[in-house]
Amino acid sequence: MTPTEAQRVLAEAEMIYPAAEVVGAIDRLATDITTRLADANPLVLTVMGGGIVFAGQLLPKLGFPLETDYLHVTRYGRSTAGGELTWVVEPRASVAGRVVLVLDDILDEGITLAAIKARLMAQGCGECLVAVLTEKELGREKPIRPDFVGLRLPNRYVFGCGMDVNGAWRNLPAIYALKGL
């Protein structure tokens, strides 16, 4: 997507959550996660690339010791439709016996996060919790339920706060939906 095309997409998009509401949701998540994990010394795994914006805002607000690492699993690439699950990078840190908190930008259909959790549990993770900045309301059951959710989204194609549209706009502080979708 060219810069001109990206600007057109943003100009035509509908804002779903302004930046201030996103920050408020992250503050609430930080409080909830701190209450739950303050004494756990968890391993926090960020799902790349969308989870990086969320993690960058959330981690400084967690006032307890933790270890960080990342993983990269994708079904989307630069597409707007999910495809085959691809493991790009596995965590370097051992999850065996650990409390693990997985951070991601969105829980959409749940296929990717369910596969991540299953793999971590198979590797001996003591407990695996999932925190997502957003969860899309699809009106049907998903293979995983997050332990912590910041914001609920309509069933539309969204971008901003780590979520992209054809590779663009992960860096936006607000959340937008494509026009007509």
Please report, for the chain, the start and end positions of each structural domain, with discontinuous segments joined by +.
Answer: 3-177
Closest CA to 135 of 160, 157, 115, 154: 154
Pair 173, 161: CB distance under 8 Å = yes
Please tell me the CATH code under which domain 3-177 is placed.
3.40.50.2020
- Return the pLDDT at 119: 94
Instruction: Say what the pLDDT of residue 77 is.
Output: 52
Q: What is the pLDDT of residues 23-50, one digit of tens each?
A: 999 999 999 999 999 999 999 999 998 9
Rounded Cα distance, 51 and 72, in Å = 10
Residue 180 binned pLDDT confidence (cut-offs 50, 70, 90): confident
Residue 170, beta-bridge partner list: none
Residue 178: pLDDT band (50, 70, 90) is very high
Reported confidence tier of residue 179, pLDDT bands at 50, 70, 90? confident
CA distance 14 to 28: 24
105-119: string of b/e by CB count within 10 Å (b at 16+)?
bbbbebebbbbbbeb
Confidence check: pLDDT of 76 > 60: no
pLDDT over 70 (residue 103): yes
Q: How far apart are CA 77 and CA 149, in angstroms?
A: 24
Judge contact between 78 and 166, C-beta under 8 A. Answer: yes
Contact criterion met (CB below 8 Å) for 151 and 175: yes
Other C-beta atoms within 10 Å of 7: how many? 13
Distance CA 153, CA 41 (A): 31
